[in-house]
Structure 1
Amino acid sequence: MSVSMVVLASRPTDWTHEQFTIWWRGPHADAARVLPGLTAYRHGAVTKDYDNPEAPAWDGHAVLTFADQAALDTAFSSPEWKAATAQTRGMGGRRIILITEEVDLLAETSNG
């Protein structure tokens, strides 16, 4: 079963949403996409916050997928992980990081 790290993040207070998205999809993505064992890497920029439409609480999310927990653990202990996370130290902003076991619910219905 694949395992994903899901990150929900808000930008540093002195950055615009656009600056944060460009950084996340550019230099930070360059550092993260080389993680050992990474099988999928998706980023979404928040375009609407239904709970707080006037002032969105979050700027984006990322989903980094690995074959299993062992592959994720290997990535976490790699120099590539240290390099990618070093970019975020002291940035400010907020984040939530979740580790999930994923099931493709569309595949289940089409194979059933």
Structure 2
Amino acid sequence: MSISMVVLAKRPSEMTHEQFTTWWRGPHAAAAKVLPGLIAYRHGAVFKDYDSPDAPAWDGHAVLTFANRAAFDAALASPEWAAATRQTKGMGGKRIIVVTEEIDLLADGADG
């Protein structure tokens, strides 16, 4: 079963949504893409927030997927992880991070 780290983030107050998205998809993505064992990395920029349509509570999300827990644990223990997380220290904003055991509910034979 694959393991995904799901990050929901709000930009620091001194950045625009566009600046935050550019940073996340640029320098931060470059640091994260090299994580050992990473098999998928997706980012979404929020363009509509159904719960807060006038002032979106979040700017984007990322999903980093690993084949299994051992691969995930190895990535978190790596120097690449340390380098990627250093970029966010003291940045401000806010985030929610959850780690999930994930299945594809559209895949043949998926059991919900």
TM-score band w.r.t. shorter chain: over 0.9
Q: How many angstroms apart in 2 are the aligned matches of 1:62 and 1:109?
A: 27
Instruction: Determine the structure 2 residue equivalent to 1:14.
Output: 14
* Cα displacement string for residues 19-72 of structure 1 (whole angstroms, at most 9, x for unaligned residues): 000000000000000000000000000000000000000000000000001100
Question: If the length of structure 2 is used for normalisation, what is the TM-score?
Answer: 0.96
| Matching residue of 2:91 | 91
Q: What does 1:33-112 correspond to in 2, within 5 Å?
A: 33-108=33-108
Structure 1 position 109, deviation (Å) = 5.9
Higher helix proportion, which one? Answer: 1
DSSP 3-state at the match of 1:108: coil
Structure 1: 5+ residue runs without aligned partners?
none
Moved over 6 A (4+): none
Corresponding residue SS for 1:101: strand
What is residue 26 of structure 2 aligned with on the other side? 26
TM-score normalized by structure 1?
A: 0.96
For 2:34 and 2:65, locate their aligned partners in 1 and report how far apart those are by CA, in whole Å. Answer: 13
* Number of corresponding residues: 110
